Amino acid sequence: MSDPVVLGGLYEVCTGVPDAVEAIGLWEAFGYRVGPTGRLSASAAKALYGVDSALTSVRLLHQEADHGLLRLMVWDKPVGRGLDMAPLPTYGCRWSVHRSTDIMAVANHAEAWEEEGRPMNRMGPLLNARMRGVEGGLLQPFHKPITGLRELQIFMPHHQIVVMQRFNLHVPLYGQPHEGSLLKTSQVCHAGLTVQGGGLQQFDFYEKIFGLKRGNQIEVDHRSAKVSVLMFDIKEGDHYDVIDFDDVRSEKPHERQRSGRLRIFYRTSPRQTPDRRADSMPGNLGYSLYTYRVADAAAMRAKVLAGGASKVTDVMPDEFGRPAFSFRSPDGFAWTLFQA
């Protein structure tokens, strides 16, 4: 029997919302559409997610994507406000990144949202220029094309969103923008976690147990790209290791990189932040869970348990009727894996 692993890229970003209809209206602008709806009783939700509350979930689909989907989780009794627009360097932060072919359209709507007095933590769009391959290591504005991307952070109370647009950099498999949608955006290209302390070895779990391909690993500090310095509020002395975990089919040439990435920002700076992991667990409002699909939930549960996960539940039907189980990975974040 082959070693059980997760299937494909990151399947869902799950967010607790008080009103599914309002959330659906927002995500339709990003190209998502309503998929199946499922429900769990309070006792069943307690067994699977550790939350003593009845649950109604709506899966949001995006074109023909088989990963990077969304799950809206409406709890009868939410346990808390969640991350509530917490900035990226927050220990426990979760966020989703979506590709757009018109980032200024997203920026225009974000600014209009703010002008109406609605809460938002916004930054950008900021330029992240790629220096690699530039003659002499210098950009040549107004003389040569600039390769890179712009990134826009729009964090709302229940949705932690980053939008990016690439320029002169063709990565065809890394998210498929819905050109017919209002904001011309893709499914989730990658989702992030901010972790603090515990050592780099804790992330071996995602490679050895999940079976993901460990990709780029870079160091980020105050001398790094401006977009990282600003978005993560990096001061002199701060340090991050950024580690990517990809679908095993993803390859390093840009043309063959696949979306569905898990990206870890691991902070080892003396300047620490409060631990907000409890606010990004199921039962909270906002981003609180990531999921993957597996071929055999029981076999994968045994592997996860042996791999050092904690709070591992039994395999049981989730709200969509699929065999599923939940646990906390060695870095302390909540996950649910379900049988495809």
Residue 94: inside a domain: yes
Residue 295: inside a domain: yes
Residue 242: inside a domain: yes
Task: Report whether 49 contacts 73 (CB < 8 A).
Answer: no
From CA 80, how far away is CA 77, in angstroms rounded? Answer: 9
Residue 61: inside a domain: yes
Residue 57: inside a domain: yes
Digitized pLDDT (tens) for each residue of the chain, 340 residues in all: 579 999 999 999 999 999 999 999 999 999 999 999 999 999 999 999 999 999 999 999 999 999 999 999 999 999 999 999 999 999 999 999 999 999 999 999 999 999 999 999 999 999 988 755 445 567 888 988 888 999 999 999 999 999 999 999 889 999 999 999 999 999 999 999 999 999 999 999 999 999 999 998 999 999 988 899 999 999 999 999 999 999 999 988 888 999 999 999 999 988 888 999 999 999 999 999 999 999 999 999 999 999 999 999 999 999 999 999 999 999 999 999 999 9
- Domain of residue 180, residue span: 6-339
For residue 56, the domain's CATH number is 3.10.180.10
Residue 1: inside a domain: no
The contacts of residue 179 (CB under 8 Å, 6+ apart) are 101
CA-only gyration radius of the chain, Å: 19
The contacts of residue 143 (CB under 8 Å, 6+ apart) are none
Residue 88: inside a domain: yes
String of DSSP letters for 129-193: E--TT-GGG---TTTSPPPEEEEEEEEETTEEEEEEEEES---TTS----TTSSS-EEEEEEEEE
Count of structural domains within the chain: 1
Chain-centroid distance, C-alpha 149? 18
334 phi, psi to nearest 5 deg? -85, 140
Residue 110: inside a domain: yes
